[in-house]
């Protein structure tokens, strides 16, 4: 039994909604003047995240890497790839594909705003907000906090002369520093939702670093649970074979074997 709800299929990829993503409707209650407009903006946000993850998935497909599914969480979306790219070129392009989709939406909405600003002024505030959402998603995901897109871009750029293991260590160290700094800032500012995201980035980066180090030594990790910290409440560590270790809800089918791309 899967904890998330299936919404359908997009480009042959199953799309799921985790219950935590529904909190966006609570957090977004003040996003606009009316509840209806706020709900529309939240749907636009989730739709933009789906398109972002589809960018990763469809670029990965160009390199023969299929995507098991895409799931929307409170902290964003996760595209579960069947395997991770091993060379820096594909990883770089797959990482950039997600933000590129958001920036393409920004350009498209900018053109629409320029053409319709005089003729039909009523949708302008909504379109501006959706444009701002996608601009924020694109920029935020390029922050070099591994394993976010920007962190993967950094690892891909460093891999050519540092090697995959050292490049991962460097990117993960920077990502952990940014996650800790961000977590402290969000704690002081009272943004507890963002603290969860910072913690997730730190944890996910540490797990992938451990896996890459094990692969670099030519070692396998029996069962995928050796020398790992306790998983988050309600989760277990999933062995992704030759990819990364990741936390998954305990209600998910343990026979699924895939990799996560956020």
Instruction: Give the Cα separation of 33 and 245 in Å (integer).
Output: 43
Task: Spell out the SS3 assignment of 162-211.
Answer: HCHHHHHHHHHHHHHHHHHHHHHHHHHHCCHHHHHHHHHHHHHHHHHHHH
Q: Count the neighbouring beta carbons within 10 Å of the beta carbon of residue 220.
A: 13
* Residues contacting residue 246 through CB under 8 Å, at least 6 positions apart: 204, 207, 237, 238, 240, 259, 260
Whether residue 53 lies in the annotated active site: yes
The residue from 37, 53, 169, 215 that is catalytic is 53
Instruction: Give the Cα separation of 16 and 248 in Å (integer).
Output: 14
3-state class (DSSP) for residue 67: strand
* Beta pairing partners, 236: 248
**What positions carry a catalytic annotation?**
53
């Amino acid at each position: 039994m899967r904890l998330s709800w299936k919404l359908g299929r997009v480009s042959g990829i199953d799309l799921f909604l985790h219950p935590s993503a529904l909190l966006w409707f609570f957090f977004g209650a003040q996003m606009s003047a009316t509840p209806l407009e706020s709900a529309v903006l939240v749907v636009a946000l989730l739709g933009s995240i789906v398109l972002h993850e589809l960018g990763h998935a469809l670029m990965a497909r160009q390199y023969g890497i299929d995507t098991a599914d895409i799931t929307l969480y409170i902290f964003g979306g996760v595209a579960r790839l069947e395997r991770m790219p091993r060379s820096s070129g594909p990883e770089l392009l797959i990482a950039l594909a997600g933000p590129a989709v958001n920036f393409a939406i920004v350009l498209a909405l900018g053109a629409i705003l320029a053409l319709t600003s005089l003729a039909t002024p009523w949708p302008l505030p909504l379109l501006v907000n959706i444009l701002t959402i996608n601009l924020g998603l694109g920029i935020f995901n390029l922050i070099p906090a591994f394993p976010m897109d920007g962190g993967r871009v950094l690892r891909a750029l460093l891999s050519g002369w540092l090697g995959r293991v050292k490049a991962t260590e460097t990117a993960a160290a920077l990502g952990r520093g940014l996650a800790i700094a961000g977590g402290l800032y969000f704690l002081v500012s009272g943004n507890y939702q963002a603290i969860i995201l910072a913690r997730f980035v730190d944890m996910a980066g540490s797990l992938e670093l451990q896996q890459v180090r094990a692969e670099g030594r030519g070692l396998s990790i029996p069962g995928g649970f050796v020398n790992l910290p306790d998983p988050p409440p309600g989760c277990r560590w999933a062995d992704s074979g030759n990819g990364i270790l990741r936390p998954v809800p305990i209600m998910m089918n343990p026979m699924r074997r895939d990799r996560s791309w956020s």
